[in-house]
Amino acid sequence: MPDLGPAEWFTWAEEQGWGDGLPTVAPTEDLVEAMLAGLAGGVPDDVPELGPLPPSRLVPGLRAIAANAVMAGCRPVDLPVVLAALQGLQHEAYNLHGSLATTHPCAPMVLVSGPARGRLGMNSGVNCFGQGTRANAVVGRAVSLTLLNIGGARPGTMDRSTQGSPAKYTFCFAENTDDSPWEPFSVRRGFAADDSVVTVMAAEPPHNINDHGSTTGEEILTTVAGTMAQSGSNNVYVRGPHLLVLGPEHAATLHRDGWTVEAIRHHLWERARIPLDRVSESNHRQFADWGIKPDGDAYTVSTGPDQLHVLVAGGPGKHSAWIPSFGSTEAVSVRVPGG
């Protein structure tokens, strides 16, 4: 790599086909070494050996991943979370190849639960999906850069997304367990409370759920169900997982009224239905070709309540978010190496 200043490096890297269009940090030997040194006590025993990344089929070594983390602006403390996210992406159920090649605008969503949230200074509260927090920005970006620079998933070649989305730059946030009235999402996934856990899913950006008027939990869920009942969502006919990310105020109202996570999932499975007259005749035929039949006078969203994952994130305000998926994917949860 030539010895270049920051501006010259950015131009040179783009000419090599590296990067996402935003400025990157030059991955010099000393910065890569410092990144690897962040793995306390050397490389933990539970650091995964990753397989080949599509479409290049190159196997990413630890140094190559560290170099992409440097380019993204990561600190050494961020690297274990990046590694866990990449491990989750390589799980067969995630369907990395399909999610990279699709015309759908999905991006690798990275959700962090457990002690790593505090260790990295991740944002789980106000504007947790947005700008302003280094850890959220650089962890998601390091994952995306690895898929670009090592996997070769470049827009217009392998990445065939019709329009894409800003989430393809970075899509990383943390679970707000401090303001959640329920057990942490990671614990409900089978992990210990002191485990740091990363959950990945090929997802659309968040869809806002604005409900300032409802005063009961059931009323809030009426608004949520209406947001989820979208005829243009992949969840209708490709099926797959989706997330309900409740803001703390909506979560508090639901908990006050006795709603458990399981009750929310089952209620929304019954309520989030798409009337037949909101689906075109041609789509009725296509859905039938895919084996998707209406339930009475409406289509369901996904295959059952178990595919809706519920957690709390965000700050004050009467907003929540629904995050639909690519459909042909799963939410995969992985323990962060080193704890």
Statement: residue 28 has pLDDT above 60:
yes
- Determine the pLDDT at residue 6: 81
- Mean model confidence pLDDT for the chain: 94
User: Is residue 12 included in any domain, yes or no?
Assistant: yes
pLDDT (tens digit, 9 = 90+) per residue, 219-255? Answer: 999 999 999 999 999 998 899 999 999 999 999 999 9
User: Is residue 214 included in any domain, yes or no?
Assistant: yes
User: Is residue 1 included in any domain, yes or no?
Assistant: no
- Determine the pLDDT at residue 43: 53
148, burial (CB in 10 Å: exposed 0-12, middle 13-18, buried 19+): buried
Statement: residue 49 has pLDDT above 80:
no
- Determine the pLDDT at residue 339: 72
User: Is residue 81 included in any domain, yes or no?
Assistant: yes
Statement: residue 38 has pLDDT above 80:
no
- Determine the pLDDT at residue 338: 79
Q: State which residues form the domain around 207.
A: 6-335
Spatial distance between the Cα atoms of 73 and 208, rounded to a whole number of angstroms = 29
Q: Looking at 48-52, 85-89, 140-144, which range is the least confident one? A: 48-52
Q: How many domains does the chain have?
A: 1
C-alpha angle 328/138/245, rounded to 5°? 50
- Determine the pLDDT at residue 50: 87
- Determine the pLDDT at residue 46: 57
Q: Which residues contact 329 (CB under 8 A, 6 or more apart)?
A: 93, 94, 95, 98, 99, 106, 201, 202, 240, 241
User: Is residue 195 included in any domain, yes or no?
Assistant: yes
Query: How far, CA to CA in Å, does 330 sit from each of 65, 114, 173, 193, 261?
Result: 24, 21, 18, 22, 19
pLDDT category at 130 given cuts 50, 70, 90 is: very high
Statement: residue 42 has pLDDT above 90:
no
User: Is residue 244 included in any domain, yes or no?
Assistant: yes
Spatial distance between the Cα atoms of 177 and 174, rounded to a whole number of angstroms = 9
